[in-house]
Structure 1
Amino acid sequence: MDIPHLLWNTVPPWATVSFFVVDLVIRLVALGTVPHNRRPSAAWGWLLVIFFFPILGGLVFLVLGRADLPEDRKHKQREAVDLIDSHGPGTDAPGVQEMPDWLAETVRLNQHNGAFPVAGGHRVEILDDYDASLAAMAEQIRGAEHYVHFEFYIAVADPTTEPVITALEEAHRRGVTVRVLIDHLGSAGYPGYKDLVRRLNSAGMDWRRMLPVRPWRGEYQRPDLRNHRKILVVDGVVAYTGSQNVIDRSYNKKKNRKQGLQWIGMTVRLHGPAVGHLDALFATDWYCETDEMVLGTDRAPASSPDGPSAGNLVCQVLPSGPGLGQESNQQLFNHLFASARERITVCSPYFVPDDSMYNTLRTAVGRGVAVDLYMGETSNHALTHHAQRSFYEMLIRDGIRIHLYKAPWVLHSKFVLIDDETAVVGSSNMDIRSFVLDHEVNLLVVDQDFVARLDELADDYRQHSHKLELEDWLSRPWHQKYLDNTARLTSALQ
């Protein structure tokens, strides 16, 4: 019996015609709507998906096709910006006037894209030991006298983070104001999330999920628009930010532990005016989730610019994300790469450049600039990792040196070094997600000693990495090449 033929004959002609009409209409509508205000590479990516799978692709596009927040949330962001007084030490701060022209242009570009004013008088320390960084944050929280603002993309309760969570509970019990923000979908997928929620509720702490996706409670926005920031502010005096989440370095997944995966992160601890700017950024995110503006409502000691915590570094806090000026962090990186005269060092777990970034880097090499990329040999995000790998051959042929941190370690530190005096550290990766879809925060630091300390960290990474050679890369199995090339087609989707 010819089953397929029999089934085909049972389908009414009108259903067949309707299916092909709907299929054709979806394709024609997509041709005229998908490219609107979208980069050609992203438009082609979406059209490819829709033309291969018209109905499914069309539905996915409706859910994920616009990197935009709901109007009420964008209105809250604008209100928060208006309410926050971001004025303070600015271009007259010590060290700012001596900036070279290209760096002054960088500062102006950042402020045009929503960054806080540049300021001097900072002290910034690098914390590159994973567990020691969590211990330092716990100790800082234990010493809090007035308030703690805690905002992380991923935060869970597990044996490694126990000192931090316990410190938050103890601070709350002794009367310190504790406010906690955790990204909903960013944290919910990891073991320990439910334990953290239970403990926060049991303690009676004031906390919220960022960008919650709970339609049954009227909470919904595009689900892959996330808040990827990592911020801890204590008493308005000291702040922590960087790439490290509050979770065990295995990220608590069984498959990670089976493979022996261990994350390597980096956090910076800072004193100075940028602490207030990070606090203002927390206040903005808190306002978006609660309608409560908390900036300036907490008692905190006034910090003296000449106090024991004062320094001489020039810094600028750089928020980015949907509703804050599209791709402001990518604009910054491209400008820095184009301005470099001697060297560019990039450390990022995810490096998937678009045409503009790729051409800027290869042009830098042509100008005689040395370019080094530090990335992980392995990753927990297969699609992004394969898309990243698809660029290796082009980058090596252009003279860019690629250093892959050896597995099972997962290199998760994020920083950019330009020549000998400029660095950017923070939460941003080098891919479309960080440039367009996620809320990020980075810190521009202008100081030769700080760059030298990051150079030492990069040297340590180099000792645990292998330099990728073209001949070795070209000899990888054909199925890996196929996966890499296929994943590359998704790199521009937004």
Structure 2
Amino acid sequence: MHAAPVVLVALCCLVAAASVATAAPAATSPGPGNATPAGATATDLEGDPLDARSCPARAATPNREAAVDEPRLVELYPNPTTHGNAGEYLVLAVPSGTALGNLTVTDGYATASLPNETAAGRVAASPDPEIAAAVTDHPVVELDGNLRLAADGDALEIRAGNRTVDAASYDRAPEAEVWYRDDSPGKNARGEWWPREASCRPATAYDPGEATAFVLPDSPEVPLETLRDADDRLLLAGYTFTSEAVTAELAAAADRGVDVRVLVEAGPAGGTPAASDPLLAGLEARGVDVRALGGEGSRYRYHHPKYAVVDDAVVVTSENWKPAGVGGASSRGWGVRVEDGALADDLAAVFAADAGGPDVEPWSVHRERATFVDEGSRSGEYPTEHGPATVSVDAVELVVAPDNAEARLLDLVAGAEESLLIEQPSVAPDASLLAAAVAAAERGVEVRILLDSSWYVADENEALAASLEAAAADEDLPLDVALVEPGDRFEKIHAKGVVIDDEVAVVGSANWNDGAVETNREVLLVLRGAEAASFYAAVFEADWNGRTWTLPVELALVVLAALALAALVGREKAGVAVSRRAGSRSRGPRRCRRRPSSRRGRR
């Protein structure tokens, strides 16, 4: 069944946004695309700000607590992945010399006491202290009583005798996530959830001076040559891995004594490609550390980045480590190579944190229960129309999801003043980044969005294009959307790229949907400088002007009335209230041919 009503409602929310999305500033130096227009605040249909998920401050610095005068609830872990939630715990920050035996914890129904011990700083309390000690670095004491932390929500009080010294409440506790108290004053604490042991990094900036910009399928030699140059370390992270050429480079590096490590997603959408197993198992047999991240209670919905750290260089792309991706046999992708020791060390730290988590296992263990699927292979050959280029950069930022990517990308889009070029396989109609792009068009920024037309995304992309084009025509917005047609340049779009004001380019793995930036591990580089931005802008222009489909305005007006009626029916059935003004701008799909149905996976 086609999801046109969803597109209609989501687009109503997008075009009703009053202005630009504003997010928490990243830890970067000033520069192009870094400023947000004064007074700009993005809102949804109800007038609420568009929020970006970012990690809680206490997740980044769990011992940041200043001295407290009375005990405070600072962490809650109610919903572990263990049977019966064994190992659940709460964390108290207490003044020096606190007699824990004077304290009790209650939810109004059951009460638990703490042991007769003296404590200072942070202490965890759990009904299962031995199990909890394995999942928290805080000292753990036993909660004695019938109190259990409810996974579906609870209200807790810390009492000293009959006096309540602190309280906190929460709704449903996400599995394997920790509640961190925020800095709001008072005893009724508020907080935020964050996956246990997930990283919590700010966006960070570097000054390498130059970078090597490249695109695929034009320049598959760039990532291969970078891997070939490894002397000391080679850390490769990806979603899927089926490239024999990359395997050969990793094996050769290992044979000459390089520390080679590989980290892939444990459960790609639809299953792990069968071609992965002999390659990764073969690398493991040669002494390469190969691990898979995922499974129940994983820190990330998908481990979806595509990067390599090679000595003091990094390669970050939109492409999987497979022939269709970095092999140059299919996809239009964007990539960049940067040589900078500090950047390489920081990205290596991301790799180490991800590879060392509780949701990671060796490939030799994972393969015994993995679901393998035959996804076929790609062997296309395409010309080199855009060769690699060494470009100057004013700064390079390392941005990762879910830690900081949504906030940083919203900030960059909010800072656009003249132009916004977006090249994506698809864009979710309810994505916060799309709302920010539409808001940019509303304030006069020229926005162009280029999407893929492969059969598995064509219907939804055509629907989104129709909706946005109709809205643009109705409001006279500088907003254009096109679907690229496959040709002799590449088979499909797989890039996840943005160019802002011909001054900033974003290269990386994050699709434009809220799941990618809020729950996936993604890695992106923000390149600031006119030369870098111009390289990717030229590729965008060539793709845009090559073979694209756009919805004629005349056709949009003819279809509009029928879709408005469909929207009304869908709205009545769903009970969703949308404004008449927003609804009149909604559009549905152009159906030009029937395609076989398929479960759509993340790419």
TM range (shorter): 0.5 to 0.7
1:68–1:222 Cα contact (<8 Å) kept = no
Deviations for 1:185-219, whole angstroms, at most 9, x for unmatched residues? 228432412222332233232110011x3xxxxxx
Q: 2: distance between equivalents of 1:463 and 1:432?
A: 29
Instruction: Tell me which of 313, 322, 329 is aligned to 2:394.
Output: 313
Aligned to 2:336: 268
Report matched runs for 1:317-356 at 5 Å.
317-321=398-402, 324=403, 328-354=404-430, 356=432
1:369 maps onto 2:445 in alignment: yes
1:377–1:407 Cα contact (<8 Å) kept = yes
Report matched runs for 1:90-489 at 5 Å.
114-130=201-217, 132-133=219-220, 135-156=221-242, 161-186=243-268, 188-211=271-294, 213=295, 220-221=296-297, 225-235=301-311, 237-249=312-324, 262-272=330-340, 273-288=342-357, 312-321=393-402, 324=403, 328-354=404-430, 356-378=432-454, 380-381=456-457, 385=461, 388=464, 391-397=467-473, 398-407=477-486, 409-468=491-550, 469-472=552-555
Q: 1: distance between equivalents of 2:238 and 2:360?
A: 19
Q: CA distance change for structure 1 residues 365 and 281 in 2, over 3 Å: closer, same or farther? A: same
Deviations for 1:62-108, whole angstroms, at most 9, x for unmatched residues? 9xx98765569944335xx6xxxxxxxxxxxxxxxxxxxxxxxxxxx
Q: What one-letter code is carried by the residue in structure 2 that aligns with 1:426?
A: G
Q: CA distance change for structure 1 residues 432 and 226 in 2, over 3 Å: closer, same or farther? A: same
Q: 2: distance between equivalents of 1:40 and 1:476?
A: 24
Displacement after TM superposition at 1:137 (Å)? 2.4
Measured on the aligned residues, the alpha-carbon RMSD in Å equals 3.9
Deviations for 1:383-410, whole angstroms, at most 9, x for unmatched residues? 8657745744445434411122113621
* TM-score normalised by length of structure 2: 0.51
SS in structure 2 opposite 1:288?
A: coil
Q: 2: distance between equivalents of 1:144 and 1:251?
A: 18
Displacement after TM superposition at 1:125 (Å)? 1.5
Displacement after TM superposition at 1:151 (Å)? 0.4
SS in structure 1 opposite 2:231?
A: coil
Q: What one-letter code is carried by the residue in structure 2 that aligns with 1:140?
A: T
Structure richer in helix, relative to its length: 1
SS in structure 2 opposite 1:364?
A: helix
Aligned to 2:140: none
SS in structure 2 opposite 1:265?
A: strand
Aligned to 1:13: none
Instruction: Tell me which of 46, 53, 77 is aligned to 2:198.
Output: 77
Deviations for 1:306-352, whole angstroms, at most 9, x for unmatched residues? xxx9965301101112xx3xxx4333333323322111111111212
SS in structure 2 opposite 1:178?
A: strand
SS in structure 1 opposite 2:302?
A: coil
Q: CA distance change for structure 1 residues 169 and 456 in 2, over 3 Å: closer, same or farther? A: same
2:217–2:330 Cα contact (<8 Å) kept = no
Report matched runs for 1:40-59 at 5 Å.
none
Structure whose CA Rg is larger: 2
2:431–2:514 Cα contact (<8 Å) kept = no
1:122–1:270 Cα contact (<8 Å) kept = no
1:76–1:288 Cα contact (<8 Å) kept = yes
1:129–1:265 Cα contact (<8 Å) kept = yes
Q: CA distance change for structure 1 residues 208 and 405 in 2, over 3 Å: closer, same or farther? A: same
Q: What one-letter code is carried by the residue in structure 2 that aligns with 1:117?
A: T
Q: What one-letter code is carried by the residue in structure 2 that aligns with 1:76?
A: E
Q: CA distance change for structure 1 residues 269 and 68 in 2, over 3 Å: closer, same or farther? A: farther
Q: CA distance change for structure 1 residues 395 and 152 in 2, over 3 Å: closer, same or farther? A: farther
Identity %: 21
Deviations for 1:159-197, whole angstroms, at most 9, x for unmatched residues? xx2221011111112221111001112284324122223
Q: CA distance change for structure 1 residues 40 and 456 in 2, over 3 Å: closer, same or farther? A: closer
Deviations for 1:462-481, whole angstroms, at most 9, x for unmatched residues? 122325133345678999x9
The count of residues paired between Structure 1 and Structure 2 equals: 350
Q: CA distance change for structure 1 residues 234 and 251 in 2, over 3 Å: closer, same or farther? A: closer
Q: Unaligned stretches of 5+ in structure 2?
A: 1-43, 47-151, 153-171, 180-193, 362-389, 571-586, 590-603
Displacement after TM superposition at 1:130 (Å)? 2.5
Q: CA distance change for structure 1 residues 223 and 282 in 2, over 3 Å: closer, same or farther? A: closer
1:347–1:414 Cα contact (<8 Å) kept = yes
Q: 2: distance between equivalents of 1:356 and 1:456?
A: 26
Q: 1: distance between equivalents of 2:277 and 2:431?
A: 41
Q: CA distance change for structure 1 residues 245 and 472 in 2, over 3 Å: closer, same or farther? A: farther
Displacement after TM superposition at 1:136 (Å)? 2.7
Q: Unaligned stretches of 5+ in structure 1?
A: 1-38, 42-61, 82-113, 214-219, 253-260, 293-308, 487-494
Displacement after TM superposition at 1:456 (Å)? 0.9
Q: CA distance change for structure 1 residues 388 and 458 in 2, over 3 Å: closer, same or farther? A: same
Structure richer in strand, relative to its length: 2
Q: 1: distance between equivalents of 2:557 and 2:219?
A: 40
Aligned to 1:47: none
Aligned to 1:48: none
2:399–2:408 Cα contact (<8 Å) kept = no
Aligned to 2:53: none
